[in-house]
């Protein structure tokens, strides 16, 4: 029997009323030894157990990083680690609302802190590369997007030389998540050396508007030929990060002016203009891309132009949605049975064979649903949550018995039929038995369940209110640096003061201004 058919049968999702009854029973019925607990506590405990099995147990005990798949013991990915940290943090916030959290709030919060600091440690080993990148702007000096899982050091493998490390959205996502966590009272940054590195990281992403990168999928152009290009998803993530971190104190409410991060307002404005000019397109080679859902929606909320938001999301759904999720972009060969995994790049015109048989990813159904819930669009969120539920696959080793597969693939023997009529065949879920489950997909699913069940609020996972337009956000006192007025259409004038004497420098420094600019 063909291997593809074996995989399909081993990972076939349950559908219909039987699957829904089993899922409801697994997640909503209290177990015998906790019947005295409230329904809210029971729900949180069930999600906690799921978080432990799917996320926490996969964390490296030394570096704090997470792998891409649960059975991987070699490579830790920064992007996947950030989303895993978000899931742990979101679950800790849910426990924070309880009178008796049994220490689980601290456990989950510190798991997230370990991850964020593990990424910081790995990147700080590359400080020389970061300084070189600011002057040479070459992918050769880009901060790495993956590291040795145990040590947190750079990988020394031949394949790593061809890897698309230059991902501006990745550094921006880290900064944005850092601001969200610190705003919620989590202590992540400890020393002034780390503050200086974060400021350098801001300089690293400020020129994204003129820095072609490899994008969220680490492949550059859709032709996967090793060439980077400008991506709207990267620009939007950078725009959101710069707006969030400008004037932000990394020590929280206990910091001084020395721990405040500053952003070049001109650099921010160029990123914003370029981003909004490209939308709803993703790049020169990609008409649209599912990565835009994470940029205009949660976690970035990079645009509050309702017309631009609707146009971008609807285009993604119209062009990319299938029965089992969304395609990453058109003619994407990733995880298809036609892709040759023995080579790093495609040959010329090779992407044509992937037309209409691209793999579909349920993770984007979760992203659409979560964004809708955060924006208080309950009905739209429920629609996509139900679509996601139909894509879950059975796994008796996890609490509840279901996980989110990485993707659904077209069987090699059914590709001609699928090309002739889109969505006419049953795709099979990529088996998680070989590599393990996909951490990123399940991390977002955990956050979605917490939000849908009302265990966390929009302000809990977005304490800086990125989901609200700038004019509707609560006014926050910021005497260091701000350009919120420019986001609302009002010009902001910044003045540089040059001191004549050391005494005047001390006076300026006392009042939050650095002398000798």
368 vs 381: CA distance, rounded Å = 7
417 vs 419: CA distance, rounded Å = 5
Instruction: Give me the pLDDT at residue 511, please.
Output: 67
How do residues 267-293 score in pLDDT, each as one tens digit?
A: 999 999 999 999 999 999 999 999 999
Sign for the pseudo-dihedral over CA of 253, 472, 273, 316: positive
Residues 372/380, Cβ–Cβ less than 8 Å: yes
Share of the chain above pLDDT 70, in %: 87
Instruction: Give me the pLDDT at residue 440, please.
Output: 97
Q: How confident is the model at residue 68 (pLDDT cuts 50, 70, 90)?
A: very high
53 vs 66: CA distance, rounded Å = 13
> Strand ranges (DSSP E) for 291-434?
321-322, 325-326, 393-394, 402-403, 408-409, 428-429
Instruction: Give me the pLDDT at residue 159, please.
Output: 78
Q: How confident is the model at residue 150 (pLDDT cuts 50, 70, 90)?
A: very high
406 vs 417: CA distance, rounded Å = 23
- pTM listed for this prediction: 0.87
CA atoms within 13 A on the CB side of 456: 29
């Amino acid at each position: 029997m063909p291997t593809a058919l074996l995989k399909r049968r081993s990972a076939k999702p349950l559908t219909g009323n039987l699957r829904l009854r089993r899922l409801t029973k697994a997640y909503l019925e209290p177990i015998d030894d906790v019947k005295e607990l409230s329904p809210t506590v029971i729900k949180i405990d069930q999600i906690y157990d799921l978080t432990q099995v799917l996320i926490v147990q996969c964390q490296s005990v030394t570096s704090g990083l997470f792998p891409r798949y649960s059975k991987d013991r070699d490579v830790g990915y920064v992007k996947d680690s950030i989303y895993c940290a978000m899931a742990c943090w979101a679950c800790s916030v849910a426990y924070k609302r309880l009178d008796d959290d049994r220490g689980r709030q601290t456990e989950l919060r510190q798991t997230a802190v370990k991850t964020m600091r593990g990424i910081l440690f790995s990147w700080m080993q590359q400080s020389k590369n970061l300084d070189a990148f600011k002057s040479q702007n070459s992918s050769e000096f880009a901060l790495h997007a993956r590291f040795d899982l145990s040590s947190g050091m750079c990988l020394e493998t031949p394949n790593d030389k061809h890897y698309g490390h230059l991902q501006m959205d990745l550094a921006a996502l880290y900064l944005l998540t850092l601001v969200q966590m610190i705003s919620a009272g989590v202590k992540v940054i400890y020393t002034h050396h780390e503050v200086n590195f974060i400021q350098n990281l801001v300089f690293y992403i400020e020129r994204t508007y003129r820095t072609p990168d490899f994008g969220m999928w680490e492949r550059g152009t859709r032709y996967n030929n090793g060439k980077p290009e400008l991506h709207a998803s990267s620009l939007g993530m950078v725009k959101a990060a710069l707006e969030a971190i400008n004037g932000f104190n990394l020590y929280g409410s206990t910091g001084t002016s020395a721990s405040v991060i500053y952003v070049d307002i001109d650099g921010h404005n160029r990123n914003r203009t370029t981003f909004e000019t490209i939308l709803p397109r993703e790049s020169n080679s990609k008409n649209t891309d599912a990565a835009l859902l994470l940029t205009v929606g949660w976690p970035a909320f990079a645009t509050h132009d309702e017309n631009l938001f609707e146009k971008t999301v609807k285009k993604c759904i119209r062009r990319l949605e299938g029965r089992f999720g969304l395609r990453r972009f058109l003619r994407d060969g990733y995880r298809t049975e036609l892709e040759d995994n023995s080579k790093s790049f495609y040959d010329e015109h090779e992407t044509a064979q992937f037309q209409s048989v691209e793999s579909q990813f349920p993770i984007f159904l979760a992203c659409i649903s979560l964004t809708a819930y955060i924006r208080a669009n309950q009905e739209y969120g429920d629609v996509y949550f139900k679509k996601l539920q139909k894509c879950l696959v059975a796994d008796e080793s996890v609490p509840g018995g279901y996980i989110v597969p990485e993707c659904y693939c077209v069987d090699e023997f059914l590709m001609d039929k699928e090309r002739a009529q889109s969505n006419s065949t049953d795709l099979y879920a990529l088996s998680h038995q070989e590599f393990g489950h996909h951490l990123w997909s399940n991390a977002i699913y955990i956050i979605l369940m917490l939000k849908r069940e009302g265990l966390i609020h929009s302000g809990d996972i977005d304490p800086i209110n990125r989901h609200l337009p700038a004019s509707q956000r609560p006014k926050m006192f910021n005497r260091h640096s701000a350009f919120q007025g420019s986001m609302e259409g009002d010009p902001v004038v910044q003045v540089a003061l040059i001191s004549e004497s050391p005494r005047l420098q001390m006076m300026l420094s006392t009042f939050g201004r650095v002398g000798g600019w």
